[in-house]
Structure 1
Amino acid sequence: MSSIELSDAPAKAYKDKGEHSHLVPKSVKVSWGAGALGVALLMNAIGSLALFYMVGVLKIDPVLAGSLIFVTKLFDVATDPIVGSWSDRVKSETSRRRPFLFAGAIVSALSFAMIFTTPVFGNQLFTAAYVLVAMMIYAFGYTLFNVPYMSMPSEMTPDYHERSSIHSYRMVFVSLGGLLAGAVAPFMLEKMGRTEWSSYATIGVLGGGTILLFMMIAWAGTAKARFTVAQKETPKVLAEVGHVFTNRHFIRLICVKLTQLLGVASSQAAMIFFILNALQRDLTVMTYYGITLSLTAIIASPICVRISRKIGKKFAYTIGSSFFILTCLSWMLAGPGEPTWAIMLRAAGTAIAMSFNVIMAMSMLTDIINYDAEKNGIRREGVFTSFYSFAEKFTYAFGPLIVGVALSIAGFDKDLPAEAMQSPAIRHAVLLGVSYLPGFMGLVSLIILLGYKLDKEVQAEAPKS
């Protein structure tokens, strides 16, 4: 009946541990988590820098720039489920996922360098065409690595809380990747020239090398991790995709992430404009913001796991969502010359929200995958993860588009220095991105989250196929 079965064949590190055999070795957790630094740098740098880079350096109209990002994400409508199903169906005596990690690392690194070394043509449409191609390669590389990568924790252990522990290691590397994208990169831009093409080219080359290194660590270091193997019976792709949308727990979790991440994406896209235009600060303040964010997230990650063991994953997630809403709304109180300590305090609130939200959401996703497998006898890690990944990228398409349209309506002039555009209309346009929309969507996501029912007790009662 089952099309996919579990295998412990390569997992020598787990043998002879008795009741602790479900625990994943720290070396595997660290190696797997390291890949998240590459993913975080890739996603956060594109999310926070791409729109400003296109508008301020490449001189592409804000609406066109936002549309380019949006269109490339539509490409993932096809690639995410295809890669997810493909990684489920691969016949191999070793991990089905790791070959995708290897290929995805190379494509992701190259695409990152391509984007930030875009040639500036005399016609903005030619420049936009190059960006479109580079962004599509980026979207495919991200999918090729991230969908199989995020499928792996549900295979590594059957333990309900151990899955949260795995993702807490990932959160540390997510924080470090965010530090590079959110603090180091803006600092470099401020020192080298935030509107200089060569500054972004330097970031593109250095960032691409870093992405390749850490993604390859994940590929090499998970060779002994537990995995699942495909049997001779090949599941039909459309049937597998259709099955995903009959899972009410998954649908609710996806709705939570869609609403919440739309606010996160718009906030990232608008933050540089907000710093320069509304707060009238230079980008060095983002160094303080990024360092505070990363250090707080690293500290908060193990605390999040402990709290979830005490009160449950849903309520731990609720804590993170509440911090997110309050922090976003607090930006409405910020004004020109905002003190650095106030910006750092908001960074700490954002970090707590990020740690709780990311760890709990991903742990809940692996719970859903294992619950579904126990009920139906078929493991669909890749398909479930592909739609989760698509939700993430779809929101990151809408965020820059919304900010780009808002800036255009407010009268943003791409030919003027960013700090010269400080009108009330521009302030409200960037506040829409960093405060109004994230706060509202965060509240909606919190309401949806309250109806989530798959806790440890429900999973333990799942009928075995």
Structure 2
Amino acid sequence: MSTAARSERAPVRLAPRTIALYAIGSLGTGGYATLPGLVLTYFLTDNLGVAALAPGLIVTAAKIWDVLIDPLIGAASDRQPARTGSRRGFMVTGALALPLFFALTFAVPPTWGPVAGAISVLLAFLATATAFSLFQVPYVAVPAELTGSYDERTRLLGWRVVVLTAAILLFGAGGPALRNAGDDPVRGYLLMGIASGVVIGVGMLVAARTADDAAQRTAVSPRRP
């Protein structure tokens, strides 16, 4: 095999910058996956006086909603590169919308009562789940578009797991700590929702930049006959 042929077949290593940007996205996915499971039940029952069954129903409804919308978002995300050049638009939209809806989930005041409070939390959490799916669905498709090398994808996803683990620890400890920072639980939950939502959104927004790198690689990759 000639040197030129070997060079053509050799996979291009991903730049450290690309790996770092992509991995930071797990700061958002880890935070979203961890914090609601830790505190949403307590927020609904202790803060809003909602029956203990309601939190489970709300979380289940969000999961069913994910199952319904993920294929639709996936199909739209697959078409987006042909229209705009990359998947970045969906990822940025999700990253910008999630902090708002995440904060609103924990902003419902006890004065609204259990029924109105539970409905408001349900709607806000479904909107949060939608924003997360807008980011997450194209996010998991990016590695295959960044590189055709199995080893490079393994390296990329390895760093993603490292950040994911750190995010779980950060939000698992930091979220409840923010909630308990003040004497007023209403303000504590609101502070936690705003601060955590911003951190999640920033992590997602940073990772969205890798969608452009993936689009550039896809555009210049030679097609096989």
1:55 to 45, 51, 54: 45
Q: Distance in 1 between matches of 2:42 and 2:113?
A: 19
Q: Distance in 2 between matches of 1:93 and 1:20?
A: 30
After superposition, residues 40-51 of structure 1 pair within 5 angstroms as: 40-51=30-41
User: 1:104, 1:142 within 8 Å by CA — same for their partners in 2?
Assistant: yes
Q: Distance in 1 between matches of 2:123 and 2:73?
A: 20
* 2:38 aligned partner, one-letter code: S
User: 2:180, 2:188 within 8 Å by CA — same for their partners in 1?
Assistant: no
Deviation (angstroms), 1:129: 0.9
User: 1:31, 1:222 within 8 Å by CA — same for their partners in 2?
Assistant: no
Q: Secondary structure, in 3 states, of the residue corresponding to 2:212?
A: coil
After superposition, residues 54-133 of structure 1 pair within 5 angstroms as: 54-90=44-80, 91-92=82-83, 94-95=85-86, 97-133=87-123
Q: Which is richer in helix?
A: 2
Deviation (angstroms), 1:93: 6.0
Deviation digits for residues 334-381 of structure 1 (CA, Å, limit 9, x no counterpart): xxxxxxxxxxxxxxxxxxxxxxxxxxxxxxxxxxxxxxxxxxx9xxxx
User: 1:39, 1:211 within 8 Å by CA — same for their partners in 2?
Assistant: yes
Deviation (angstroms), 1:167: 0.7
Gaps of 5+ in 1: 1-16, 230-376, 378-463
After superposition, residues 87-236 of structure 1 pair within 5 angstroms as: 87-90=77-80, 91-92=82-83, 94-95=85-86, 97-193=87-183, 196-225=185-214, 228=218
Q: Secondary structure, in 3 states, of the residue corresponding to 2:12?
A: coil
Identity %: 27
Gaps of 5+ in 2: 1-6
Deviation (angstroms), 1:92: 3.5
Deviation (angstroms), 1:176: 2.8
User: 2:106, 2:190 within 8 Å by CA — same for their partners in 1?
Assistant: yes
Deviation digits for residues 44-98 of structure 1 (CA, Å, limit 9, x no counterpart): 1112211122122222111112112211222223210000011112214622x11
Deviation digits for residues 11-57 of structure 1 (CA, Å, limit 9, x no counterpart): xxxxxx76554321111011011111012112211122111221222
Q: Secondary structure, in 3 states, of the residue corresponding to 2:111?
A: coil
Partner of 2:27: 37
Q: Residues 122 and 158 from structure 1, CA distance in 2 versus in 1: closer, same or farther, beyond 3 angstroms?
A: closer
* 2:206 aligned partner, one-letter code: I
Q: Secondary structure, in 3 states, of the residue corresponding to 2:110?
A: coil
Q: Distance in 1 between matches of 2:159 and 2:118?
A: 38
Deviation (angstroms), 1:132: 1.0
User: 1:28, 1:222 within 8 Å by CA — same for their partners in 2?
Assistant: no
Q: Distance in 2 between matches of 1:25 and 1:56?
A: 48
Q: Secondary structure, in 3 states, of the residue corresponding to 1:224?
A: helix
Could you say which structure has the larger radius of gyration? 1
Deviation digits for residues 244-269 of structure 1 (CA, Å, limit 9, x no counterpart): xxxxxxxxxxxxxxxxxxxxxxxxxx
Q: Secondary structure, in 3 states, of the residue corresponding to 1:192?
A: coil
Q: Residues 203 and 79 from structure 1, CA distance in 2 versus in 1: closer, same or farther, beyond 3 angstroms?
A: same
Between 1 and 2, higher relative CO (CA 8 Å, sep ≥ 6) is seen in 2
Q: Distance in 1 between matches of 2:104 and 2:203?
A: 19
User: 2:96, 2:201 within 8 Å by CA — same for their partners in 1?
Assistant: yes
Q: Distance in 1 between matches of 2:103 and 2:84?
A: 34
Q: Distance in 2 between matches of 1:165 and 1:145?
A: 21
Deviation (angstroms), 1:221: 4.7
